[in-house]
Structure 1
């Protein structure tokens, strides 16, 4: 029995919005992961020639939990597909919070105090002992892209918390298939029982 046209249209719209949401999450998470691994800051030593003893710091050097937060957000995206009801909404909130954490981490990675602390931890002893570490250049595009990816994930989490109740789950198809098989099996059993009783009524041996 086919579903009514309005129901089919609603199901098609729900699947389309889910695919768009997944694409947005993939773009946001991928952007954050890519940008966090790029060089955000180039360092040198004060008083020395340009480039002498220079070092570089990536977003992950500056904020160690950027990549873990982005990966956790993508894992939570998959969990949204595997859950339903309250669990799905709670997981959507987790996606939003992790996305916000990525965006906040991108901002924190541009602060002078964060750069100084990371430089002290990651620069070699030869560089740190030769003088004060100076900031030579910043690549603003990478923290901006990391923040953008985090904001996309945060927004996607909010959208999922509102709309995910309409989306299909990963197990919907299997549950429908199991339901159809169970119904067919029950029908076959009923038909066999009816045939047996009909044979008995007619004086035949149903086991022969």
Structure 2
């Protein structure tokens, strides 16, 4: 009962850690995706008066998240790369990458929050060449997309913290190959794995050797 139950429990444990890793990857990718989506949307509209002396007419300038928080795009791409790096690392390095994701997420959340203010939008609009020197700029922020960017940053912070705390329990990309390696006293340690005889027969046929004759692999025993 104990010998039969141990492999079953091991399989369940591996399945659980694999599902946990996949769920984490989905959450991290979603957080970075939220940043990218919000960055390309309009965060504020700034209206400006007509130029003095009857020159240019007044109008409205739309500012995107990339205009008001240009760091968000690079941060989102860095977070996506870090999520992939978690899959390729183990142990201490996985925790280091998780800490980096948390820091990048925090920086993105702060940048999104600062970029959502009306004063910042008016300042960015006023710095544009066509509006430089104009007074009376009025900004009307759109809160939905900046809020999404802040939420994406917080998701990445949570994902990074989870990777630091639990990343050591998750399976790595190379685990499936390591489990196929030799184990002391088990298949691969001086003995053939199940199906090894059949594989040797096919290898012999591929090499043009008749496995039923002589002392070749899989030769019949008389």
Question: Under a length normalisation based on structure 2, what TM-score does the superposition of the two structures give?
Answer: 0.73
The correspondence of residues 50-199 of structure 1 with structure 2, limited to 5 A, is: 52-121=58-127, 123-125=128-130, 127-129=131-133, 131-132=134-135, 134-177=137-180, 179-180=181-182, 184=188, 187=191
8 Å Cα contact 2:100/2:160 also seen in 1: yes
Question: Under a length normalisation based on structure 1, what TM-score does the superposition of the two structures give?
Answer: 0.77
Deviation (angstroms), 1:187: 4.9
* More helix, by proportion: 1
Give the match's secondary structure for 1:170. Answer: coil
Report 1 or 2 for greater relative contact order, CA contacts < 8 Å, sequence distance ≥ 6: 1
Give the whole-Å Cα distance in 2 for the aligned partners of 1:116 and 1:136: 6
Structure 1 residues 143-174: Cα deviation after superposition (integer angstroms, max 9, x where no partner): 00000011001101101111111111111123
Mean Cα deviation higher: 98-107 or 168-177: 168-177
2:35 aligns with 32
Give the whole-Å Cα distance in 2 for the aligned partners of 1:156 and 1:135: 38
Structure 2 residue runs of 5 or longer lacking an equivalent are: 52-56, 193-214, 216-222
Structure 1 stretches of at least 4 aligned residues deviating more than 6 Å after TM superposition: none
8 Å Cα contact 2:118/2:139 also seen in 1: no
Deviation (angstroms), 1:116: 3.5
RMSD: 2.6
Give the whole-Å Cα distance in 2 for the aligned partners of 1:133 and 1:58: 21
Deviation (angstroms), 1:47: 6.3
8 Å Cα contact 1:40/1:138 also seen in 2: yes
Give the whole-Å Cα distance in 1 for the aligned partners of 2:85 and 2:109: 21
Structure 1 residue runs of 5 or longer lacking an equivalent are: 189-205
Give the whole-Å Cα distance in 2 for the aligned partners of 1:120 and 1:176: 62
Give the whole-Å Cα distance in 1 for the aligned partners of 2:12 and 2:121: 53
1:16 aligns with 19
8 Å Cα contact 1:41/1:135 also seen in 2: no
8 Å Cα contact 1:82/1:169 also seen in 2: yes
